[in-house]
Chain A
Amino acid sequence: MIQIKDLTKQYGAVRAIDNLNMTVEPGSIFGFLGPNGSGKTTTLRILTGLAKPTAGSAHVAGVNVSQDAHNLPAHIGYLPEEPTFYSCMTPRESLEYIGRLHGLPSSERIARIKELLMLVGLTEAGKRRIGGFSRGMRQRLGLATALVHRPQVLLLDEPVSALDPAGRKAVLELIEQLSGQCTILMSTHILADVERVCNVVGIISRGRIIVQSPREELLNSYVQPIFELDSADIPAIQRLAELLKKQTWIASVNIEGQTARIAVNNVAQARAELLAAAMAQHIVLRRYEEMRPSLEDVFLKLVETGSVQ
């Protein structure tokens, strides 16, 4: 649904995007992850036709974004990071205007506006001027305007960054509901959101995709298993750490306060021997846990090393 090939964007001496290659399959929710300034927003702006690439090509729903940008609006819905609207209009009028631009018939338009206002929780504020809206309300309205014409591709730039926890939960659930109805490319730096809703993850750093993979595959491939031990007996924990560092199945041991964080090379061996080693040191444990690998660990590891897959 989205194909990006050797895409480059140069601003003077700065290369915002550097030979980016990426594919987003139809129906997927693609989490576009990267630190600030890594090129996420620039990529999205190129995909919407608002910016032009210096080199390379990008296709969205079969439309070449450089050559046929005028054909893009029918296929895409775009939510920028800080959506703004005509402050003298109401949400209902804004959606009505967008619906008319997309040529929705009157009856369909009315039903769609009602449905969308309910979906983003703005039914009560539907007749209020947008000028007095909070950033969170504008972001929800932005999502509604991006969805008016049922686009094939939804491009979301930090869609929940301005929302409170309840708003964030609601919008993420909404994005989950859209799974299968349209293809979603969602840029964010909030890893928990990606872990929650995205089924494919692409990590971008310095304008390059350093990894693109289904979320579970990514977690399984890139995360070193971690075990954590908690004890009030800090000297005993330190003794254990010294012993463990000599084992070949141990990658590293870090002690933070009363917690030892142990990265292992061999999970099976760790499961069999780690607890026994602690018992041998007569440590009274408060907690022993095999940690679930998180996307944060993958992200930090890949962005720090900048390794390209």
Chain B
Amino acid sequence: MNFLHVFYKEMTEQWRTYRLLIVVAVMVVFGLASPLLAKLTPELLKSIPDLPPGLADAIPVPTLSDAVAQYVKNMSQFGILLALLVSMGSVAQERERGTAAIMLTHPVSRLNFILSKFFALAVTFTISLGMAALGCWYYTLLLFKAMPWGAFLALNGLMLLVFLVYVAVSVLCSTLANSQGVAAGLAFGALVVIAGVSSLPRIGEYFPGQLFGWGAALLLGGANTAWPAFWVSIGLIIIALWGAWQVLNRQEL
């Protein structure tokens, strides 16, 4: 029951510190800009004066798949970056300020302390990605054509799962670190390690990055699936949160 009180406090904090608004604003900007950029980039290129003859004709006409590719590219970069930036201070900041020590002398279990932070961040990213997706869908409809709802929803669901992997890993880093600076270093280190391992042949197929490709394929009609990466992502979230709980249990505040 206390989880709901702590979660409500976390959501209040997300709202009052403008964290929720900032994440929504950034995501919505990239959601709206993706189809717009896909549509306008070729037009902008064609408008360059003194373009060599024939080159303007060689620039392909933008299609729905360009809009989707742009959306996936933007979200895979900025969504992950936001996930790290917003989550990396979650525990370290409370420990540094001393609020964690006060709160944990009240009936708040250390598990609820970690889970409430993760779920509040999960809600923040769900709302933000949902609004970005709505904007993207509408602009794509205006500039190209309607995307199938089911597949677009699946793409966003898979992207959300990737963001939550990075949120969970950042919460773990924040619990391990004794200051926000160290937490930031650890979180970016984790990002580099995951990106590095994901680029390796064979092993990379099991890492969250594959979910972007799977989502795009669902929307554009490809046959790719990435079930191993899906289950590994869920596993990573569980392991990161369990690890954060175990670390916090052993820590003195």
Contact = CB atoms under 8 A, between A and B. Distances in A.
Interface in B1-15: 1-2, 5-6, 9, 12-13
A138 to B, nearest CB: 10
Interface in A82-99: 82-86, 88-89, 93, 97-98
Contacts of B105: 48-50, 72-73, 76, 78
A86 B101 contact: no
Of the listed residues A45, A73, A76, A142, the one surrounded by the most CB atoms of chain B closer than 10 A to its CB is: A73
Contact of A51 (B9, B102, B107, B252): B252
B99 A86 contact: yes
Nearest to B18: A88
Contact of B106 (A73, A82, A93): A73
A50 B106 contact: no
Contacts, number: 62
A85 B106 CA distance: 13
A245 interface: no
Contacts of A73: 105-108
Contacts of A80: 98, 101-102
Interface residues of B, number: 22
B25 interface: no
A196 interface: no
B179 interface: no
B65 interface: no
B42 to A, nearest CB: 46
B17 A88 contact: yes
A234 B30 CA distance: 87
Nearest to B99: A84
Contacts of B2: 101
B18 to A, nearest CB: 10
A52 B12 CA distance: 32
Interface string A179-212: 0000000000000000000000000000000000
A83 B12 contact: no
A5 B68 CA distance: 67
Contact of B101 (A50, A72, A89): A50
Contact of A83 (B102, B107, B253): B102
B97 interface: yes
B252 A102 contact: no
B5 A101 contact: yes
B5 A50 contact: no
A273 B6 CA distance: 71
Nearest to A142: B102
Contacts of A50: 101, 104-105, 252-253
Contacts of A88: 12-13, 16-17
A48 B105 CA distance: 6
A86 B98 contact: no
Interface string A46-60: 001111100000000
Q: Which of B9, B12, B17, B97 has the most CB of A within 10 A?
A: B9
A147 B162 CA distance: 43
B249 to A, nearest CB: 10
Interface string B99-139: 10110111111000000000000000000000000000000
Nearest to B97: A84
A100 interface: yes
Contacts of B1: 103
A154 to B, nearest CB: 12
Nearest to A149: B106
A66 interface: no
Contact of A78 (B6, B9, B102): B102
A301 interface: no
Contacts of B109: 70
Contacts of A76: 105
Contacts of B252: 45, 50-52
Contacts of B13: 86, 88
Nearest to B250: A52
Contacts of A103: 1, 107
Given A50-B101, A80-B98, A102 B16 contact: no
A74 interface: yes
A145 interface: yes
Contacts of B6: 101
26 contacts: A45-B252, A48-B105, A49-B104, A50-B104, A50-B253, A51-B252, A51-B253, A73-B105, A73-B107, A73-B108, A80-B101, A80-B102, A82-B98, A84-B98, A84-B102, A85-B99, A86-B13, A86-B99, A88-B16, A89-B9, A100-B5, A101-B6, A101-B107, A102-B106, A103-B1, A142-B102
Given A70-B109, A73-B107, 20 more contacts: A45-B252, A49-B104, A50-B101, A50-B104, A51-B253, A72-B105, A76-B105, A78-B105, A80-B102, A82-B98, A83-B98, A84-B99, A85-B99, A86-B99, A88-B16, A93-B12, A98-B106, A101-B5, A101-B107, A103-B1
Interface pairs A-B: 7 shortest CB-CB: A88-B16, A84-B98, A51-B252, A78-B105, A50-B253, A73-B107, A100-B5
